[in-house]
Amino acid sequence: MNRVQNALVVAAAWIAGGAWATWAGAAEAVKVQVDPGVKLRQIAPEFIGFGYETSAVAQTNYFSPANSSLVQLYRNLGPHGLIRIGGNVSDHTRYEPDGVSTPHTEREVTVINRARLADLAGFARATGWRVMWGLNLGTGSPEAAAQEAVAVAQALGDRLQSFEIGNEVDLQGAYQFKFANFESYYSNYLAFKATIRTAWPAAVFSGPDVAGNLAWLRAFAQHARPEVELLTYHYYRTGAQTAGATIENLLRPDEGWRDRLGGLESVSRESGVPFRINEINSFYGGGKAGVSDTFGSALWCLNNMFVLATFGCDGVNMETDVNQLGFISHYSPVVHDAAMSCQARPEYYGMLAFALAGRGDLIQCHRDQAEFNLNVYATRDGHGSVWITAINEEVARDAALEVAMPSGYSKAQVFRMTAPSVTSTNKVSLAGAEVTPDGRWTPGMPEPVPVEAGTANVAAPHASAVLLHLQN
C-alpha cells in the first residue's frame, strides 16, 4: 500500500473511531469556510474542451462515431464541451473534397477531405460537443479558406461553434509568413473574413488565437468585437526542453500567469466578449516524459481549470493527441494505439474531477494557512448541492481540513483523486475507480464524512485532491 492510500485508510479508521484529533495532530490543520450565498462566477456549460492539431482530423477512424472508446471518454466529461481544431498544422493544411486525407507535421501539407469532415461531424453529434475550426492563414488564400469553411459548415451544421483565421498569429513574423505586426495581420484577417462571409454569410468567428501577446488580443477586441464570438489565448508553463520543466515547477503557483489572466479578464470586460484559453497544457514542444504524463499533471490540470474559472474564463481546450512534430504529446490527456482505440492518461483524471465538481456557480470560499500549497474552491450545482474541491499540491505535507458546514447543510461525503505517487504514470483513480480500456468510468461509493459541532473533518494527504460534497 502506498503512502497516500495508507494515510487515507488510517485517517478513515481514526475518524470512524472518534479519534480525528490523533490523525490531525500528524497533519497540518487548515480551516475552510464557504458561503453558498455569494456567487463569484457562473461556469460556462462548454467550459471543458480538447484541442487538436488539424492533422488529427486527417487520421482515419479517429474522429468517428464508431470510435466508441473516444466517444465514451468525451461523454464521461459531460454532454457539452468544445473541440478546437487548429494548431500549427492548420497553417499547413489544404482541403481537397475528394483527395486522399493525409496527416503530416507542420513541415509538410496535411490534406483534409469530405469524408473526414463527415466523420468529425458524426463524432460531434455522438458526443454532443461543438467544434471551433482553424483556417489556414499562414500558407493559404482567402479563396481556399472560403472553400474549406463552407465544407466544414455544411458538414458540422449546428455542431460548428466558430471559425478562427490563423494560429498563434503574434508569432507569424518569426515563422516568416505574411506579417510581422498586428496591423498587417488584421488586414489579412479582414480579407479572409470578407471572402468567407461572401461564400458563407452565416459564418461566426473567434480570435485572434495569440500565443501570448496581450496587446494583440486587446487590439483585436477593440477592432472586431461587434462580430467575434470569443477572444482566444494560449498558455504553457514553459518549454519542454528548459530547466523549468519539472513537477515541482509545474505544481508551483505561476504568479505571472495570474497577472496575464487579470489582463485577459480586463480586456474581456471592456469589450464585452468572453475569453477562452483554447490551447493549453504543461510544457510546449510536446511536454516532458516523466512529468507531463504523471499524476502531477492531473493535480496541475484540475487546479488550473479552477484558476481559470475564478478569472471568468469561458473555458479551456487541453491540447492532446498528435502534435505539430508528428508524435503524441507526453502531456496528452488521451492517447490512442494503431487501431485508434483510446485510453486515458493521468491528466484526463484532472478533467474528470472538474467535470464532477466544477459545474454550476463558483461561490465564495476561504481557507487559512496561506503559505500551504493547498488550493480550495467551492461550487454550487443546479440541485443546490455544494462541492468543495481541495487540491493538495504539496509533495510531502498532509493537511487536515476542518470545514465549517454552511447554514442549511448537514450531510457530507467525499470523493478522492489519488495515485501511488505524484510521479505515477498509471494506477490513477477518481472516486475509487480507474477509467477502463474501453473508456468507461464508474465512480465508487463516496466516503462518508462525520459532521461534529458543525464541522466536517476531512483528510487531504499530500499530492492528492479531495472533492467534498455537501447536501441539505
Tens digit of each residue's pLDDT (9 = 90 or more) over 198-207: 999 999 999 9
Cα–Cα nearest to 152, from 166, 143, 162: 162
* pLDDT value, residue 16: 45
pLDDT recorded at residue 49: 98
Dump pLDDT digits (tens) for 385-413: 999 999 999 999 999 999 999 999 999 99
Say how far apart CA 359 and CA 48 lie, in whole Å: 10
- Residues 146-180: pLDDT tens digits? 999 999 999 999 999 999 999 999 986 655 566 77
pLDDT the model gives residue 177? 60
Residue by residue, DSSP assigns 33-65 as EEEEEEEEEE--TT--EEEEETHHHHSTTSSST
Q: CA nearest 212: which of 132, 314, 163, 280?
A: 280
Antiparallel, parallel or unpaired: β 130-135 and 110-112: unpaired
Q: Are 375 and 350 in contact (CB under 8 A)?
A: no
Report the mean per-residue pLDDT for the chain. Answer: 93
Answer with the residue of higher pLDDT: 24 or 337.
337
Binning pLDDT at 50, 70 and 90, where does residue 269 land? very high
Q: pTM, whole model, 2 decimals?
A: 0.94
| Percent of the chain surpassing pLDDT 70 | 93
Equal CATH topology for 3-41+360-471 and 44-357: no
Whether the Cβ atoms of residue 210 and residue 169 lie closer than 8 Å to each other: yes
In angstroms, the CA 75 to CA 65 distance is 12
> In CATH terms, is domain 44-357 a member of 3.20.20.80?
yes
Cell of 207: 480570435
Q: How far apart are CA 48 and CA 358, in angstroms?
A: 10
Residue 241 has pLDDT above 60, yes or no: yes
Spatial separation of the C-alpha atoms in residues 93 and 138, rounded to whole Å: 10
Of 40-44, 127-131, 173-177, 214-218, the range with the lowest mean pLDDT is: 173-177
Is the pLDDT at 209 greater than 90, yes or no?
yes
Residues 6+ away with beta carbon under 8 Å from 259: none
Fold held by 3-41+360-471: Immunoglobulin-like (2.60.40)
Extents of the domains making up the chain: 3-41+360-471, 44-357
Asked if residue 20 has pLDDT above 60, the reply is no
